Amino acid sequence: MRHDPTVSSTLEPERYEFCAPTTHRFELQRRDFFKLLGAGVLIISAVPEAIARQESGARAPQFGEPLPKEISAWLHIGENGVTTVYTGKVEIGQNIRTSLAQAVAEELRFPLERIELVMGDTQLTPYDMGTFGSRTTPTMNLQLRKVSAAARETLLALAAKQWNVDAGGLVASDGKITDPGTKRTVQYADLVRGQQLSQIIPADDPLIPASQWTVEGQSIAKVDARDFVTGKHRYPSDQTAPGMLYGKVLRPPSFGATLVSVDAPSQDFVNDVTFVHDGDFVGVAAASSEAAAQAVAAIHATWKEQPQPSRTELFDYLKNSPVEAKGFEGASRYETGSVDQALASADHRLKQTYHVNYIAHAPLEPRAALAQWSGETLTVWTGTQRPFAVRTELAQALRIPEDRIRVLMPDMGSAYGGKHTGECAVEAARLARAANRPIKLVWTREEEFTWAYFRPAGVIEISGGVGLDGMIAAWEFTNYNSGAAGIRTFYDIPNQRIVFQPTRYPLRQGSYRALAATANHFARESFMDEMAHAVGQDPLEFRLKNLKDERLRAVFQAAAEKFGWGHAQPAVGHGFGIGGGFEKGGNVATCAEVAIDPSTSEVRIVRVVVAFECGAIVNPDNLKSQILGGNVMGIGGALFEAIDFDNGRVLNARFSKYRVPRFSDVPQIDVVLVDRKDLPSTGAGETPLVGLAPAVGNAIFNATGKRIRSLPMAPHGIKSA
Amino acid sequence: MAKIQKLRVNGTERAIDADPQSSLLTVLREQLDMTGSKYGCGEGQCGACTVLINGTARRSCITTVGSTEGREITTIEGLEHHGRLHPVQDAFLAEGAALQCAYCASGMIMSAVALLKTNPHPSEQEIAAAMEGNLCRCGTNPRIIAAILRASQAHQEAGA
């Protein structure tokens, strides 16, 4: 069931990852690089497709080759003693600015503090589809290790030539090369002085094995942390430009409403307000955000509303609205053995339905953009996980060529899969063109809760057949709408039918941290618990009995051991639960203890143990933070988060109405890191959270005997769930 | 309505031109280009905009400029003195992984500074209670509690 994360280094799009076609574009020529960067050594990493094409020409890449069209990253070692790395990946709080610098420092043998990363700038960095899918560590980290190893070998060759010795006897360390025989030493910066050397990899220079890492594998703190604790860092919403005005967009009263008519406010209502009406788009630009908001409030617009589905009918709507979709959004079906026959002949048969509500990402920084025109060229600073895709959106919306647009992504205030799109950038750019001034547009929290997109709701049906011996014989699993990520079972079951059915859906939906793996793990691991109870077995034993995968078994056992599973009994009103799984190259197992308040029936999570394994660990402390953070965030979707909507209106588009986890919701969380230095490093931003909801649900059952099959499980305690 | 024309921020009198009803956060960010205080909700629910007014933590997004006349405002930009960070800032750095996207960090730090002024040695429970109004969507809450505990211990050692 496991697919090998190393099989493809390019991204495998999944349903609900918002994706655009890969429109590779690369304008810089080799000489332009050195004009831009100054003299030095330049190493360029080509992605496999480009490599394949080059190799088909039966010629190895050499110095001076024309640049390949598909490039994943490049690195420049300058005369000034600074190494600059260019990658289209972006920093959204997962701290890859730090972990990627670690990869470079390790292989290049170069001081971490003199490495600069240029990230997510469509003019300066290579094309990248986006920062999502937990792909940065398995792909970009590996690419940068290769680039850096090639750079190190190039520098060794340069030194060997200069000293007329064999490169094999030289040592690279801490940004300099030493000849142990003669004790001669040369700094990289001196070695590259006046050089204009470029090289295209892949090269087969040896990578340093994880067991010998000295920088990777260490808990390095966020590289530019001081700027963040002093308020100096400028997030997308903090960007400014001379002469800048503030934008504001008039929103329809409900989803699907179309504009019938609009009257511009009289121009003297507020001084210097620019008013834009273009199709269904209505917005203003003004000298302050408050003036812009007042101007929009004064606009008289008439809208034609369309009836829209409401939350009360959500699950029937999804179940009864199948659609045919193509490509990665299409239906999927996996079948093995004879599931109907095996179900019919099983000793125990179970059938259950699970529901998952819509939830919002609610990144603390809402969508924000600063757009600036200079003649016919446009520059936009915006918070997005996909700067190159935003450039495409801007080109299409504004009808200008992509090469006149530059999108920059300052390290932003988080996203969680929720900022794959460029709505705010497009709006700011449209207003800026009309106002002929730079425009900053920051969405309000209400706009973010309403006009962004949501994690898909879903209905999941499972039928299972299990023998008296506790062996699962049959497994039938159908997911309506919520997504196909993590849909396959990792238990060894001879007869399976696993279906993802796309449907029509009432709200705009898209990627969310871990995608549908959260919903699919919730349903699967809850159902596993139900089957374990049906045959009278301990839930952990039952899982291990049906599970051969050694990596997954290892995390289940590690979590259980730390938790004390099977030793202690829960106190009165408390319950224990377990859940886990495999997704995006990571293995997770989660144990939870809950307590039910006898008077209010509120569920409190008392303690969580998470064991996680993602190959060789690049940065243990940051990994621990990702695991803690994913589980804290996951508490909301598990227990109380849900978008409430009625006839095209979101009813709880504020933090005062939409409850997200706060300090008092956070339990003791113990993290067990399983470090597999013998395995490639994979991503960790998503998978650690998928075990939480089923572990908590199973613990609620353990405490109360009540099985809750809907997320969120206890928005107002479990009585009304 | 008479405009407000000055604001005392981080020990300095700053010229502004704002309606008394304007939000303090908006004026700080848009008129003084002090962007360390963040917008997160506009209703005092997330704490990203927290500043100190006469030493007390306040949500600047729902504080009117008019109400701050004659009062001393301290923002995240004002914690550093002569190149030395406040002990809470140091503690956030030392507890390195307390920072993920860190958009909440300014507000968290300002709330923690206010807490330690009134309760220099809080328990974990007291910290969690005091920080309840500050949201971290990245879920760094356990690390933030650890950072504030660390700051309170540094304070204790410095005082001992």
The answer to whether the CB atoms of A622 and B97 lie below 8 A apart is yes
Rounded-to-integer distance, Cα A340 and Cα A167, Å: 66
> Six-digit token pair at A132?
């999502």
Rounded-to-integer distance, Cα A177 and Cα A166, Å: 13
Q: Which pLDDT does position A20 carry in this prediction? A: 42
> Six-digit token pair at A706?
């009540």
- Looking at the predicted structure, is the pLDDT value of residue A26 above 50? no
Q: What is the CATH number of domain A236-305+367-442?
A: 3.30.365.10
Q: Tell me the DSSP string of A376-393.
A: TEEEEEE--S-HHHHHHH
Q: Which of B100, B115, B123 to mutate to test the interface with A (most CBs of A within 10 A)?
A: B100
Per-residue pLDDT of A486-508, as tens digits, reads: 999 999 999 999 999 999 999 99
The answer to whether the CB atoms of B141 and A660 lie below 8 A apart is no
- Of the listed ranges A240-249, A325-334, A644-653, the one predicted with least confidence: A325-334
Q: What is the CATH number of domain A321-358+454-711?
A: 3.30.365.10
CB B23 within 8 A of CB B65: yes
- E strands, A420-523, are 439-442, 458-466, 472-480, 495-501
* Closest-CA distance of chain B to residue A666, Å: 7
The answer to whether the CB atoms of B138 and A414 lie below 8 A apart is yes
Bridge partners (DSSP) of residue B86 are none
The answer to whether the CB atoms of A664 and B23 lie below 8 A apart is no
The answer to whether the CB atoms of A628 and B139 lie below 8 A apart is yes
Question: Dihedral, CA atoms, A89, A93, A97, A98, nearest 10 degrees?
Answer: -150
Q: Which pLDDT does position A46 carry in this prediction? A: 73
How do the pLDDT tens digits run along chain B, 160 residues long?
A: 699 999 999 999 999 999 999 999 999 999 999 999 999 999 999 999 999 999 999 999 999 999 999 999 999 999 999 999 999 999 999 997 679 999 999 999 999 999 999 999 999 999 999 999 999 999 999 999 999 999 999 866 765 4
Query: Chain B partners of A219 at a C-beta cutoff of 8 Å?
Result: 96-97
- Looking at the predicted structure, is the pLDDT value of residue A49 above 60? no
Residue of A nearest to B147 (CA): A229
Q: Which pLDDT does position A37 carry in this prediction? A: 80
Q: Which of B35, B103, B115 to mutate to test the interface with A (most CBs of A within 10 A)?
A: B103
* CA-closest candidate to residue A594, choices A518, A705, A701, A522: A701
Q: Which pLDDT does position A70 carry in this prediction? A: 62
DSSP SS3 for A106? helix
CB A405 within 8 A of CB A376: no
Residue type (1 letter), A196: Q
Q: Is A692 exposed, middle or buried (0-12, 13-18, 19+ CB in 10 A)?
A: buried
The arithmetic mean of pLDDT across residues A693-701, rounded, is 98
The number of C-beta contacts closer than 8 angstroms across A and B is 176
Q: Which of B33, B137, B142 sits opposite A414 (nearest CB)?
A: B137
- Looking at the predicted structure, is the pLDDT value of residue A299 above 90? yes
* Closest-CA distance of chain B to residue A86, Å: 20
DSSP SS3 for A394? helix
DSSP SS3 for A631? helix
% of chain A with per-residue pLDDT over 90: 82
Residue type (1 letter), A600: T
> Six-digit token pair at A685?
């931003």
> Six-digit token pair at A188?
């990289």
% of chain A with per-residue pLDDT over 70: 90
Q: Which pLDDT does position A31 carry in this prediction? A: 63
Give the residue extent of every domain in chain A.
Answer: 30-224, 236-305+367-442, 321-358+454-711
**Lookup result for tokens 């599973």:** A565
Q: Which pLDDT does position A42 carry in this prediction? A: 84
The answer to whether residue B81 neighbours chain A at the CB level (below 8 Å) is: no
CB contact set of A8 (below 8 Å; sequence gap of 6+): none
The answer to whether the CB atoms of B135 and A442 lie below 8 A apart is no
CB contact set of A175 (below 8 Å; sequence gap of 6+): A81, A109, A110, A111, A114, A187, A188, A189
Q: Tell me the DSSP string of B40-77.
A: S-SSSSS-TTEEEETTEEEEGGGSBGGGGTT-EEE-GG
Q: How far is CA A651 from CA A130, A309, B128, in A?
A: 32, 13, 29
- Looking at the predicted structure, is the pLDDT value of residue A243 above 70? yes
Q: Which of B80, B137, B141, B144 to mutate to test the interface with A (most CBs of A within 10 A)?
A: B137
Residue of A nearest to B80 (CA): A230
- Looking at the predicted structure, is the pLDDT value of residue A543 above 70? yes
ipTM: 0.97
What domains are there in chain B, each with its CATH number? Answer: 4-75 (3.10.20.30), 87-159 (1.10.150.120)
**Lookup result for tokens 């200008």:** A400
Q: Tell me the DSSP string of A108-155.
A: HT--GGGEEEEESBTTTS-----S-TT-IIIIIIHHHHHHHHHHHHHH
* Closest-CA distance of chain B to residue A538, Å: 31
- Looking at the predicted structure, is the pLDDT value of residue A409 above 80? yes
CB contact set of A464 (below 8 Å; sequence gap of 6+): A343, A346, A349, A350, A351, A472, A474, A475, A476, A527, A531
Q: Which pLDDT does position A2 carry in this prediction? A: 45
> Six-digit token pair at A582?
């495999």
Q: Work out the pLDDT band at A29, boundaries 50, 70, 90.
A: low
Q: Which of B45, B46, B93 sits opposite A225 (nearest CB)?
A: B93
Q: Which pLDDT does position A625 carry in this prediction? A: 96
- Looking at the predicted structure, is the pLDDT value of residue A682 above 70? yes
Q: Which of A289, A364, A630 sits opposite B104 (nearest CB)?
A: A364
Q: Which of A237, A656, A662 sits opposite B132 (nearest CB)?
A: A662
Q: Work out the pLDDT band at A129, boundaries 50, 70, 90.
A: confident
**Higher pLDDT pick, A263 / A476:** A476
Per-residue pLDDT of A651-670, as tens digits, reads: 999 999 999 999 999 999 99
Specify the length of chain B in residues: 160
The arithmetic mean of pLDDT across residues A469-482, rounded, is 97
The answer to whether the CB atoms of B43 and A655 lie below 8 A apart is yes
**Arch. (CATH architecture) of A30-224:** 2-Layer Sandwich (3.30)
Q: Work out the pLDDT band at A263, boundaries 50, 70, 90.
A: confident
Q: Which pLDDT does position A10 carry in this prediction? A: 36
Query: Chain B partners of A231 at a C-beta cutoff of 8 Å?
Result: 34-37, 75-77, 106
Per-residue pLDDT of A424-435, as tens digits, reads: 999 999 999 999
Q: Which pLDDT does position A203 carry in this prediction? A: 58
Q: Which pLDDT does position A516 carry in this prediction? A: 96
Per-residue pLDDT of A4-14, as tens digits, reads: 433 333 334 45
- Looking at the predicted structure, is the pLDDT value of residue A19 above 60? no
Q: How far is CA B27 from CA A240, A290, B3, B23, B134, in A?
A: 14, 10, 12, 6, 21
DSSP SS3 for A158? helix
CB A379 within 8 A of CB B152: no
Rounded-to-integer distance, Cα A234 and Cα A227, Å: 9
The answer to whether the CB atoms of A232 and B26 lie below 8 A apart is no
A30-224 and A321-358+454-711: same fold? Answer: yes
- Looking at the predicted structure, is the pLDDT value of residue A60 above 50? no
Q: Work out the pLDDT band at A242, boundaries 50, 70, 90.
A: very high
Q: Which pLDDT does position A205 carry in this prediction? A: 72
Query: Chain A partners of B137 at a C-beta cutoff of 8 Å?
Result: 361-364, 414, 416, 633, 660
Q: Which of A228, A244, A445 to mutate to test the interface with B (most CBs of B within 10 A)?
A: A228
